[in-house]
Amino acid sequence: MKRPILLAVIALLAAAALLMLWQLTSGGQSTRTSVTSSGTALIGGPFRLTDHHGQQVTEADLKGKFTLIYFGYSFCPDICPTELQIMGAALDQIQQKAPEKFRKLQAFFITVDPERDTPAVLADYVPHFHPRLVGLTGTDEEIAAAAKAYRIYYAKVDPESDTPGDFYFMDHANLIYLMGPDGAFLTHFSYGVDADEMTRRLIAEID
C-alpha cells in the first residue's frame, strides 16, 4: 500500500474512533437537543361562548379555579349522559369529603351540536347532572374554535335518508379535561373512569 493511501486510511480510522468515543460519552446528542419540549400538552386556548343563562363565557372565566371541561351534546343517547353523571357524582363526593376543595372547582359542558343545543335547551339539560355544571354553546364558528383549542374531534353523522332532518347523531372525542387555576391543562379522564377514581384524582390534583 502506498504511503499517501495508508495515511488516509489511518486518518479515517482515527476519526471513526473519535466519533465512537464522543457518542459513548455524550449519549450521541447533538447541539440540536438543546431545544427541548416542555412536555406541556397544547390543550386549551381562547374561546368565546354563551352559557345556558345567556351570558358570555371566555377562557378568562377559567382562571382562578380548577375546571372540568367535557365536550358532548344533549341529544346523545348514552355516552354523554353517562359521563356527565360520573362528573356530577364526583363533584358530589368532593363536596362531601373536601368542601374546601369543592369550592375551587367549576365544570363546563361544551356542546358540539350548536344547531340543536341552544341556551334554552342546555338550561333544561345540565341541571339534571349537577348545579355546578354550566352548559356552553355558540355559533358553528365559535364551537369549532373551542374544539380546535382543546383538540376535540367532532362531526355530524349523516342521518338515514328516510329520517327527519333534525334527527342525527354527533361523533366526537370522549374526554374530560381538568384545567388548572392558570387555565393550563393538568390531566384528562378517559371514558370508563368511575366517580370514585375521578374523585380521588381530582382531590390529589387540587392538593
Write a three-state SS string for the chain: CCHHHHHHHHHHHHHHHHHHHHHHHHCCCCHHHHCCCCCCCCCCCCCEEEECCCCEEEHHHHCCCEEEEEEECCCCCCHHHHHHHHHHHHHHHHHHHCHHHHCCEEEEEEECCCCCCCHHHHHHHHHHCCCCEEEEECCHHHHHHHHHHCCCCEEEECCCCCCCCCCCEEEECCEEEEECCCCCEEEEEECCCCHHHHHHHHHHHHC
pLDDT at 164: 64
Which regions of the chain are under pLDDT 70? 1-41, 159-165
Q: Rounded to 5 degrees, what are φ and ψ at 154?
A: -155, 155
pLDDT at 136: 98
Q: If you search the block for the grid coordinates 363565557, which residue do you land on? A: 57
pTM (2 decimals)? 0.78
pLDDT at 207: 85
pLDDT at 116: 96
